[in-house]
């Protein structure tokens, strides 16, 4: 496989941007490889500057659900562009997008658009603190909510200890307000709540996507909701990945939870920069200009991103069966892959829901942060490199979700299963 042009671009990029990239995981460091440089993408495929094509399971980290460069979407966007790229002022389509989202998510009565998922979670935390007058935040180890200062924190050794920043540049004085609990272990949340009276909110990815896919075990989210209600703690669902991905109404629809605030991003912009946070009216009324929690954005409600979001959500709304089609693809893929892995004697676990899945090289079920982390990274690196040679693009890290789009059809399914078969045989 020729990757010469990508290599030349990467060398140039490294002279211009830290690590040659604008977001760290793109550098392919966890798989000891060099990134390919993309020329274009269409449907289920992405094409690099050397002329290689890859069946794409990254799907812009889940932002793409219709498939790349969907022709209907492109038409809408071109029309939007011709009417201006940014107004910095109110426009009717903001109402249209808000309407589609509040209809799909009954827990959201009022919402605010932002330009990224990070802005959405950052603002949701500020709002929870402003609303409750408390400072503490509980997050789960391994849940990623964007690069928000208070959320770039992981645990010290003891569960009840204060958070320690995960990144330099995050003040200890801020990190100390973040408490780390364990996903799928409700007792870890209980211990924090018992010891701390200053907790404003819990923020959670209802389905973990950023250590690879880890599903909530039965009752975990329900127990979390009850615990929060009883303790007067707000519950924030980070549905930046799962919103419109796992079901039209997101993970909260599947698990029947009524969060106080929900954050979204990715799919709702159809591949354009967007985010949102929203929730109950009396909470959202605390946001400026109605209330005293300040939050703003020059490009928030950008007309092109909003028009793209409207198109995608309308498409999903009018074709709800696509969630079954995507789920069916996922189930078939999981079954085939697990059968082949077993025949080849390679320990492999697939976690999946609707259009998101992760294969872990692991002997044991993966149901929390520790079990995800104990999967075999060396084998993932080999898997990744073989799949690239096979013409399939997976995330360049073992701890990410893979995504199925509407453009992944039967040919793609068969191609993927064939590639897995050859890959497992080589790993045997
Ligand atoms: C991607 C992601 C974010 C951050 O969104 P950006 O648009 O990258 O800022 C937040 N939360 C979750 C769960 C994500 O996957």
pLDDT tens string 204-243: 999 999 999 999 998 999 999 999 999 999 999 999 999 9
- Those residues with Cβ within 8 angstroms of residue 360's Cβ, 6 or more apart along the chain or in another chain: 212, 348, 349, 350, 351, 366, 372, 375, 398
348 has catalytic annotation: no
pLDDT-derived band of residue 301, with 50, 70 and 90 as boundaries? Answer: very high
Ligand 1 site-directed mutation target among 241, 309, 397, most atoms within 8 Å of CB: 241
238 has catalytic annotation: yes
* Ligand 1 lined by 251 (C-beta under 6 Å): no
Q: Identify which of 212, 146, 150 has the alpha carbon closest to the alpha carbon of residue 183.
A: 212
Q: Residues 284, 289, 291, 292: what is their CA dihedral angle, to the nearest 10 degrees?
A: 120
Q: Averaged over 258-279, what is the pLDDT? A: 98
Q: Averaged over 100-124, what is the pLDDT? A: 98
Q: Identify which of 100, 268, 293 has the alpha carbon closest to the alpha carbon of residue 201.
A: 293
pLDDT tens string 384-396: 999 999 999 999 9
Q: Whose CA is closest to atom 15 on ligand 1?
A: 241
* Ligand 1 lined by 210 (C-beta under 6 Å): yes
Gap from CA of 384 to ligand 1 centroid (Å): 23
Gap from CA of 245 to ligand 1 centroid (Å): 14
Count of beta carbons in the 10 Å neighbourhood of residue 236: 29
Which domains, and CATH codes, for the chain?
A: 4-69+320-427 (3.90.1150.10), 71-318 (3.40.640.10)
Chain centroid to CA 207: 9
Gap from CA of 295 to ligand 1 centroid (Å): 18
- Residue from 57, 144, 255, 420 carrying the catalytic annotation: 144
* Ligand 1 lined by 243 (C-beta under 6 Å): no
Q: Averaged over 51-74, what is the pLDDT? A: 98
Count of alpha carbons within 13 Å of 174, Cβ hemisphere only?
16
Ligand 1 nearest atom to the CA of residue 239, by list position: 13
Gap from CA of 297 to ligand 1 centroid (Å): 17
Gap from CA of 209 to ligand 1 centroid (Å): 10
* Ligand 1 lined by 209 (C-beta under 6 Å): yes
Q: Averaged over 76-82, what is the pLDDT? A: 98
Gap from CA of 144 to ligand 1 centroid (Å): 7
Gap from CA of 146 to ligand 1 centroid (Å): 5
pLDDT-derived band of residue 153, with 50, 70 and 90 as boundaries? Answer: confident
pLDDT at 308 over 60: yes
pLDDT tens string 143-152: 999 999 888 8
198 has catalytic annotation: no
How far apart are the C-alpha atoms of 104 and 94, rounded to whole Å? 16
pLDDT tens string 315-358: 999 999 999 999 999 999 999 999 999 999 999 999 999 999 99
- Residue from 3, 134, 139, 266 carrying the catalytic annotation: 266
Q: Averaged over 275-304, what is the pLDDT? A: 98
HEC string of 7-64?
Answer: HHHHHHHHCCCHHHCCCHHHHCHHHCCCCCCEEEEEECEEEECCCCEEEECCHHHHCC
Matching residue, tokens 């068969």:
414
State the pLDDT at residue 162. 53
* Ligand 1 lined by 122 (C-beta under 6 Å): no
State the pLDDT at residue 165. 77
State the pLDDT at residue 150. 85
For the question of whether the overall pTM of this predicted structure is more than 0.85, the answer is: yes
Q: Averaged over 264-275, what is the pLDDT? A: 98
pLDDT at 156 over 80: no
pLDDT tens string 160-199: 345 667 788 888 889 899 999 999 999 999 999 999 999 9
Ligand 1 site-directed mutation target among 25, 114, 121, most atoms within 8 Å of CB: 121
Average pLDDT of every residue of the chain: 95
Ligand 1 site-directed mutation target among 63, 265, 395, 403, most atoms within 8 Å of CB: 265
């Amino acid at each position: 496989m020729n990757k010469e042009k990508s290599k030349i671009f990467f060398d140039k990029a490294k002279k211009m941007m830290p690590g040659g990239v604008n977001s760290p995981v793109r550098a392919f460091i966890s798989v000891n490889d060099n990134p390919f440089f993309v020329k274009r993408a269409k449907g289920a495929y992405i094409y690099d500057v050397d002329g290689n094509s890859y069946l794409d399971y990254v799907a812009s980290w889940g932002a793409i659900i219709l498939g790349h460069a969907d022709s209907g979407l492109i038409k809408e966007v071109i029309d939007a562009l011709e009417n201006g790229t940014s107004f910095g002022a109110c426009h009717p389509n903001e109402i249209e997008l808000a309407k589609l989202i509040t209809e799909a998510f009954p827990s959201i009565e009022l919402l605010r658009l932002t330009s990224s998922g990070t802005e959405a979670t950052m603002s949701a935390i500020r709002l929870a603190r402003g609303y409750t007058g408390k400072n503490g935040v509980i997050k789960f180890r391994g849940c990623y909510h964007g690069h928000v200062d208070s959320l770039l924190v992981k645990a010290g050794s003891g569960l009840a200890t204060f958070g320690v920043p995960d990144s330099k540049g995050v003040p200890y004085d801020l990190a100390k307000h973040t408490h780390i609990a364990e996903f799928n272990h409700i007792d870890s949340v209980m211990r924090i709540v018992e010891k701390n009276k200053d907790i404003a909110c819990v923020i959670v990815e209802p389905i973990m996507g950023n250590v690879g896919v880890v599903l909530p075990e039965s009752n975990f989210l329900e127990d979390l909701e009850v615990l929060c209600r009883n303790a007067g703690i707000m519950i924030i669902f980070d549905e930046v990945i799962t919103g419109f991905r796992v079901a039209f109404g997101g993970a909260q629809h599947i698990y029947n939870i009524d969060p106080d605030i929900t954050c979204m991003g990715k799919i709702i912009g159809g591949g354009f920069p967007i985010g949102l946070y929203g929730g109950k009216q009396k909470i959202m009324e605390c946001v400026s200009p109605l209330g005293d929690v300040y939050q703003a954005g020059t490009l928030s409600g950008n007309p092109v991103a909003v028009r793209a979001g409207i198109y995608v959500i309308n498409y999903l709304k009018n074709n709800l069966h696509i969630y079954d089609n995507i789920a069916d693809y996922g189930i078939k893929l999981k079954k085939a892959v697990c059968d082949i892995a077993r025949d080849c004697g390679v320990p492999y676990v697939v976690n999946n829901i609707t259009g998101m899945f992760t294969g872990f090289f692991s002997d044991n079920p993966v149901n929390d942060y520790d079990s995800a982390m104990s999967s075999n990274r060396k084998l993932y690196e080999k898997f990744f490199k073989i799949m690239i040679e096979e013409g399939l693009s997976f995330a360049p890290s073992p701890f990410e979700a893979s995504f199925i789009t509407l453009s992944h059809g039967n040919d793609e399914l068969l191609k993927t299963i064939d590639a897995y078969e050859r890959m497992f045989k080589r790993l045997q």
